[in-house]
């Protein structure tokens, strides 16, 4: 199964009763393992979590810390783009050249990179004097 197909499949499990916007994400890690996540909303709205955050949490819990590929999918008019917070979360574990595949459920696919999604990002270098 492709990484995008994994994201498509896990999207079905999203808990999105408030936005009705289901998102699926899949991450390939350096070990070769694939981790999936979906958005999990909450009646206390700010407590909801994004699909990418779920996949990253699964990855770290699974013992991986390096991302080599990302795929995200939703039923949107154009390929769904990770939110700002998720871009920062992805960048924590991915090099700038890691490819992010963004897709719609009806088959539009677009590819970009972590660096293109998060230019000028805050990284550990800024803290080198601490
Ligand atoms: N959402 C994600 O899970 N990932 C994204 O990349 C964009 C937004 C979720 C959060 C919320 O549950 C719903 O989509 C609407 O914003």
Give 120's Cβ-side CA count (13 Å radius). 1
Q: What is the pLDDT of residue 66?
A: 98
Fold of 3-127: Cytidine Deaminase; domain 2 (3.40.140)
Q: What is the pTM of this model?
A: 0.96
The continuous run of DSSP H or E covering 9 comes out as helix 3-11
Q: Is the CB of 30 under 6 A from ligand 1?
A: no
Q: Is the CB of 42 under 6 A from ligand 1?
A: no
| pLDDT tens track, the chain, 130 positions | 999 999 999 999 999 999 999 999 999 999 999 999 999 999 999 999 999 999 999 999 999 999 999 999 999 999 999 999 999 999 999 999 999 999 999 999 999 999 999 999 998 999 999 9
Q: DSSP states of 67-122 as a string?
A: EEEEEEEES-SS-----HHHHHHHHTTEEEEEEEEEEETTS-EEEEEHHHHSTT--
- Structure tokens belonging to residue 108: 């539009």
Give catalytic residues, as residue numbers.
52
Task: Delimit the domains of the chain by residue range.
Answer: 3-127
Q: Check if the beta carbon of residue 59 is closer than 8 Å to that of residue 26.
A: no
């Amino acid at each position: 199964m492709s990484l995008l197909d994994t994201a498509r499949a896990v999207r079905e499990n999203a808990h999105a009763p408030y936005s009705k916007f289901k998102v699926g994400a899949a991450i390939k890690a350096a070990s070769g393992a694939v981790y999936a996540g979906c958005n999990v909303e909450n009646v206390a709205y700010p407590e909801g979590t994004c699909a990418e955050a779920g996949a990253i949490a699964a990855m770290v819990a699974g013992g991986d810390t390096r991302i080599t590929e990302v795929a995200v999918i939703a039923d949107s008019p154009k390929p769904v783009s990770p939110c700002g917070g998720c871009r920062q979360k992805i960048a924590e574990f991915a090099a700038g050249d890691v490819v992010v595949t963004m897709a719609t459920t009806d088959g539009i696919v677009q590819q970009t990179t972590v660096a293109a999604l998060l230019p000028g990002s805050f990284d550990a270098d800024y803290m080198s004097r601490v």
